């Protein structure tokens, strides 16, 4: 395996996605984020919208409810089917080319099969709140509550399917506080490690 | 406050101390590690040996027992006296000059009063085991057990006096896996952030 993969896990609003895109652009390799949803849609037959709603991005009905309900005679839920499709797509990507993958438990999925640099991006709550309001606009819910909800979902999703703790130092080769260090510095450091 | 401080917290055997020394040498600023013990000894009147045994470095009798026992009429233990001396020495250092401080909860002690870059160095258990055997020699206890004991003590000490979780991503601006990235790369990144 000669491809090299950078996986980026991130707190919501930390700019992890932007950092991933910029690192990939700098290195001249593709970055998979929302593009992954399309690929999982193709693989699984589920609609992209459905995947967004049920997967790591879930913002309406919790995926957890689905993970425990609707199980078929093998004990598989539709949520599990999504997980297997996600896993397959990510393994195939890593097999095919060097790239940046944002989120989707890629660090865990690739841990035994690819040459990965695993990155976690976080930032202080106030800076993240400022960022999501700027990026996604205001909503009825306070930005702090939106951040906590989203991170909670990501953590629960990660924990459920990997049995590891999301955001635990030991899972990552490097973690960066983007609010203090700045997006550009984070991009420079990560690209420099490639 | 124009001084800039780099605090380095580290898992035992991760090479955090070596990284601290090399970063300081590269930047031409002092590094305080064991030197801190001498300063705390001067400040507190306790012997350096006693401080090593009772402080973060504690390797024989646990400091925790001492923290809960031997309390005077103010409810202070000798362990608390050590903590206050440690705190005073670190605050004065940061007031006086730019420097690197290894361990001693410096990230927490300086959080409201200094311009800090807070770093955490960790590494995989097998690499750390190899390193401590090379550096400190064999002992009756397996290296894995020595590592776990030491980290447990550091974590408990940090938690007791700071009420924060040692090694939680949110406490640090950057965390690095020195076993995967290499000591030199860690030094380069940290010095580059200064």
Tokens of B8: 């380095």
**Helices and strands in chain A, H and E counts:** 10, 5
Band of residue B9 on the pLDDT scale cut at 50, 70, 90: very high
> Does the pLDDT of residue B177 top 90, yes or no?
yes
Query: Please, which pLDDT band fits residue B141 given cuts at 50, 70 and 90?
Result: confident
pLDDT of residue B161: 86
Is 70 exceeded by the pLDDT of residue B35?
yes
Residue B165 has pLDDT above 80, yes or no: yes
Q: How many CB pairs under 8 A join A and B?
A: 44
Question: Smallest CA–CA separation between A139 and chain B, in Å?
Answer: 26
Instruction: Determine whether the interchain pair A192/B193 forms a contact, defined as Cβ–Cβ distance below 8 Å.
Output: no
A174, pLDDT greater than 50:
yes
Question: Who has greater pLDDT, B184 or A146?
Answer: B184
Mean pLDDT of A50-68: 62
Nearest CA in chain A to B184: A193
Asked if A99 and A7 count as a contact pair (C-beta separation under 8 A), the reply is no
pLDDT value of position B101: 95
Residue A156 has pLDDT above 80, yes or no: yes
Query: What distance in Å separates residue B165's CA from the closest CA in chain A?
Result: 11
Mean pLDDT of B175-189: 97
- Which CA distances in Å does B168 have to A158, A171, B84? 17, 12, 24
What would the mean pLDDT of A49-73 be, rounded to a whole number?
A: 63
Q: Do B90 and B161 meet the contact criterion of CB atoms below 8 Å apart?
A: no
Q: Is B177 on the interface with A (CB under 8 A)?
A: yes
Closest CA–CA distance from residue A167 to any residue of chain B (Å)? 7
* B63 or A107, higher pLDDT: A107
Q: Is-above-0.90 flag for pTM?
A: no
pLDDT beyond 70 at A85: yes
What is the complex's ipTM, to 2 decimals? 0.85
* pLDDT for position B139: 82
Per-residue model confidence as pLDDT tens digits over B60-112: 445 566 666 666 666 677 778 888 888 999 999 999 999 999 998 999 999 88
- Confidence tier at A60 by pLDDT (50, 70, 90): very low
Verify whether the Cβ–Cβ distance A173 to B180 is below 8 Å.
Answer: yes
Contacts of A176 in chain B (CB under 8 A): 173-174
CB B173 to CB A189 under 8 A? Answer: no
pLDDT of A107 > 60? The answer is yes
Q: Which of A167, A168, A177 sits opposite B174 (nearest CB)?
A: A177
Give whole-number Cα distances, A38 to A32, A85, A89, A136, B114, in Å: 10, 11, 10, 21, 47
Q: Is the pLDDT of residue A118 over 50?
A: yes
Q: Which range has the top average pLDDT, A114-128, B60-74, B147-161?
A: A114-128
Domains recognised in chain A with CATH numbers: 4-193 (3.40.50.300)
Which of chain B's residues have a Cβ under 8 Å away from the Cβ of A168?
169
Q: Could you tell me the two tokens for B21?
A: 């020394």
Reply yes or no on whether the pLDDT at A61 is more than 90. Answer: no
């Amino acid at each position: 395996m000669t491809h090299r993969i950078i996986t980026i896990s991130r707190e919501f609003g930390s700019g992890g996605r932007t950092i991933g895109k910029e690192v990939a652009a700098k290195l001249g390799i593709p970055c998979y984020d929302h593009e992954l949803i399309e690929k999982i849609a193709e693989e699984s037959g589920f609609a992209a919208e459905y995947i967004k709603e049920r997967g790591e991005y879930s913002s309406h009905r919790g995926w957890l409810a689905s993970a425990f309900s609707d199980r078929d005679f093998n004990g598989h839920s539709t949520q599990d089917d999504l997980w297997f499709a996600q896993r397959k797509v990510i393994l195939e990507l890593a097999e095919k080319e060097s790239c940046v993958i944002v989120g989707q438990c890629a660090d865990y999925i690739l841990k035994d099969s690819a040459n990965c640099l695993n990155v976690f991006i976080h930032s202080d709550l106030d800076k993240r709140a400022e960022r999501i309001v700027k990026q996604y606009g205001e909503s009825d819910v306070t930005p702090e509550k939106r951040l906590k909800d989203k991170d909670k979902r990501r953590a629960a999703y990660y924990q459920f399917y990997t049995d590891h703790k999301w955001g635990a130092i030991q899972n990552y080769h490097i973690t960066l506080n983007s609010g203090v260090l700045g997006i550009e510095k984070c991009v420079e450091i990560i690209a420099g490690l490639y």
